[in-house]
Amino acid sequence: MNPTTRKLQTKLALIGLLRENRRMTLEDLSKYSGVKEISDLKKELGKLYMVGSYPYTPDQLVEIDYDGETIGIRLPNRMQEGLTMSVREWSGIRNLLLEEEQKEVDPERRQILLSSLQKIHTVLPSSGVLDSGELKSQVTEAIKKQKSVQLEYQAQGETSPVKRKVDPWALLSYKEEYLIGFCHTRNAPRSFRLDSILTFERTEEKSIQVPDQERKNAISMLKQFLKSSGKEGAVAEIFHTAEVYFNLHRRFGLERTKESIRFRETVFYLSKTNIRNEDWFLSTLKGFGNSVILKSPRGLKQRLQAYWTEQLGEMGT
């Protein structure tokens, strides 16, 4: 890795950890950031502290706060309070900018509008996003005619959209509006937020015929998942390496502990989290491979062990 890139990644990791955990000790920050020597860690923190000095303006201030035991960080408002908007909200802003750009006569201001539009075009299709009412009408028609659809979908938090072939089953309104159907890419029932669907096209292909009761059961399970996503469930204990802590924490919201183990020359640290949905939890955990070890609950631990035993068995055949 390029040395400059490595240095930048170290600084971003420190900012991310301090931002997520509010305050940390030097020892914990060293453990989870991968900067093993405390002296090196202090040098990196010193460089971050310098961002708050001249010639930077107050709105760019990064302040490191060390009270002798723990470290905190204060970030500029624009870094600390980033806006998360849906695809449809970005589309609405783009439409407003397009209207302003067409009326603007000041060349300098028009250039600013064009620059802003170009940035939005990089993440949204130039053809525009379907009106909510029109989209629901097209989904309803596809369900009625039992036709497969092609859609371009950008999930919340993802930087780029993906194309999916879906057999639509039902529309669900719970806090947000969802399309529930069979996803051919995942080969399983899935739910899709309507405001994250960029493009929608009905095909002439007939939907896969699924027994009515099986379809109803899948819809019921997806409904329960959506309704339980905001509730806390059982507590899981996960051993993980320092390298995956940040991404694991972003998905589960980990509570760190002081316990750790050494396994095959690698140190694993123990964290706890609430399980909102068991299937989603296990599916996400599998993506981290041998960088995580599930300690509890016992039932999920056995399911995960059975999965990896099966995978290893297939690799050996």
Specify which of 146-150, 206-210, 253-257 reaches the highest per-range mean pLDDT.
146-150
Do 142 and 114 reside in the same domain of the chain? Answer: no
Does residue 126 lie in a domain region? no
Do 115 and 151 reside in the same domain of the chain? Answer: no
Phi first, then psi, for residue 168 (nearest 5°) are -70, 135
Residue ending a domain, among 202, 228, 254, is: 228
Determine the Cα–Cα distance for residues 186 and 174; give it in Å rounded to an integer.
23
- Find out whether 136 and 194 touch, Cβ atoms under 8 Å: yes
Give the 3-state secondary structure percentages of the chain, helix then strand then coil, rounded to 5: 50, 25, 25
Q: How many CB atoms lie within 10 A of CB 214?
A: 10
Specify which of 14-18, 66-70, 99-103, 254-258 reaches the highest per-range mean pLDDT.
254-258
- pLDDT tens for residues 212-235? 888 888 888 777 766 655 444 588
Domain extent for 180:
132-228
Determine the Cα–Cα distance for residues 305 and 312; give it in Å rounded to an integer.
11
Does residue 33 lie in a domain region? yes
Please say if the pLDDT value at position 278 is more than 70.
yes
DSSP letter, residue 194: G
Using pLDDT thresholds of 50, 70 and 90, give the confidence band for residue 53. Answer: very low
Inter-axis angle of helices 87-103 and 107-121, nearest 10:
150
Does residue 43 lie in a domain region? yes
Please count the structural domains in the chain. 4
Do 45 and 91 reside in the same domain of the chain? Answer: no
Does residue 299 lie in a domain region? yes
| CATH code of the domain in which 139 resides | 2.30.30
- pLDDT tens for residues 165-198? 999 998 888 667 888 899 998 888 888 888 788 8
Do 156 and 222 reside in the same domain of the chain? Answer: yes
- Find out whether 22 and 52 touch, Cβ atoms under 8 Å: no
Please say if the pLDDT value at position 82 is more than 80.
no
Determine the Cα–Cα distance for residues 317 and 305; give it in Å rounded to an integer.
19
Buried/exposed 271-301: b ≥16 CB within 10 Å, e otherwise: bbbebbbbeebbeebeebeebbbbbeeeebe
Does residue 211 lie in a domain region? yes
Q: What is the mean pLDDT of residues 114-127?
A: 69
Do 13 and 95 reside in the same domain of the chain? Answer: no
Phi first, then psi, for residue 313 (nearest 5°) are -65, -40
Does residue 127 lie in a domain region? no
- pLDDT tens for residues 238-253? 999 888 887 788 778 8
Question: 3-class SS at 34?
Answer: coil
